[in-house]
Amino acid sequence: MGALFDMEKIVVITGPTATGKSRLAVMLARQFGGEIVSADSMQVYRGLDIGTAKIRPEETLGVPHHMLDVCDPKQNYSAARYVADADECVREILSRGKLPLVCGGTGLYIDSLVSGRGFEGGEPSQALRRELNAQYDELGGQALLKKLAQVDPDRAAKLHPSDKKRLVRALEVYAATGRTISEHDALSRAVPPRYDAATIVLSFRDRQKLYERIDARVDAMFKLGLVEEVRALLASGVAEASTAMQAIGYRQLASAFRGEMSLNEAKEAVKRESRRYAKRQLTWLRAKSDVFWIFFDEEPDFEFARQVSAEFLHSRGLK
């Protein structure tokens, strides 16, 4: 890989949930002759439309969109698979002389695609993962954290016993490769980025305004038929334990269907989890340098966002 100026240029449009990323991406794609590559870990699943705020066909305004509806919700779609598939999309767009615009809020997907980061062990061994999950359930998080500390004390010091997913992944990587996940991350950071990404971040100046917008969007999702969408997925044979059903909105409604809460309580839980997710997204974004922030006040001003985004992209050599 050559120096940064030799890399292919792409655009990344990201930000916390409910900030209008998809709409701005369409506007910029039309202006710059681009195509959009989704970076949303749940919009890859067919049938997860309302709860993931998947863009509707009429909203694309004819702009091609990629990495939507690429996986059956009964299957599990990994970050490693996303990077391979999305990278192929980006390269095909570039080969046609078009500008790829990566749009979404899944930080792991975006960072891994742009950086060229590999995934130690590749696709996970389902048998090994089931075994480690069973160990966690039987022995508890503290026991697995102690086990991890014996081989990777650096990573163990950063994890909490309740962080089942990351504990299992760290042990899985070591069991599969003999290399700790800390070693893998250090090697990944030494690899030059795959793309020269001009990154635009949408957010609200007032955090409370963002939360109000999230709450309003959840209310709209329920009116649009989110309850019926989740019922249909479960009736079609999608397992509650599947990755798709862990999405915010879907997981809470499945719990309501089991009688563990009312539908109104489920709605409030979806709002709460969506706000928490937005907070985690902002934490990830604030740690980044060389990104262009656009802050909205009361309501999103998309024409203003398009204008200042275009100026930023021009400054990065995109015409």
Q: Express each pLDDT in 25-61 by its tens digit.
A: 999 999 999 999 999 999 999 999 999 999 999 999 9
Same domain for 169 and 67: no
Q: Express each pLDDT in 161-175 by its tens digit.
A: 988 888 998 898 888
Domain boundary among 189, 206, 240: 189
How large is the average pLDDT for residues 95-115?
96
The answer to whether residue 86 is domain-embedded is yes
Q: Distance between CA 277 and CA 139 in Å, rounded? A: 29
Same domain for 183 and 196: no
Q: Is the pLDDT of residue 291 over 90?
A: yes
How large is the average pLDDT for residues 98-118?
92
The answer to whether residue 39 is domain-embedded is yes
Which helix or strand (DSSP H or E) is residue 207 part of? helix 207-224
How large is the average pLDDT for residues 288-310?
96
- Cα dist. 261→249, 255, 257, 265 in Å? 13, 7, 8, 6
Same domain for 107 and 222: yes
Identify the CA nearest to 199 among candidates 264, 131, 77, 291. Answer: 291
The pLDDT value recorded for residue 188 is: 64
Domain boundary among 169, 189, 209: 189
CATH code, 20: 3.40.50.300
Same domain for 23 and 155: no
Same domain for 240 and 148: no
Q: How confident is the model at residue 77 (pLDDT cuts 50, 70, 90)?
A: very high
The answer to whether residue 1 is domain-embedded is no
Q: Express each pLDDT in 235-265 by its tens digit.
A: 999 999 999 999 999 999 999 999 999 999 9
Q: Distance between CA 249 and CA 252 in Å, rounded? A: 5
Q: Distance between CA 276 and CA 256 in Å, rounded? A: 20
Q: Distance between CA 319 and CA 310 in Å, rounded? A: 9
Q: Express each pLDDT in 109-124 by its tens digit.
A: 999 999 886 665 555 5
185/108: higher pLDDT:
108
- Per the structure, the count of domains in the chain is 2
Domain boundary among 161, 189, 217: 189
Q: What percent of the chain has pLDDT over 90?
A: 79
Same domain for 207 and 179: no
CATH code, 183: 1.10.20.140
Same domain for 233 and 149: no
Q: Is the pLDDT of residue 5 over 70?
A: no
The pLDDT value recorded for residue 130 is: 83
Same domain for 180 and 200: no
The boundaries of the domain holding residue 168 are 126-189
Q: Distance between CA 79 and CA 113 in Å, rounded? A: 9
User: CB burial class (10 A; 0-12, 13-18, 19+) of residue 179?
Assistant: middle
The pLDDT value recorded for residue 2 is: 38
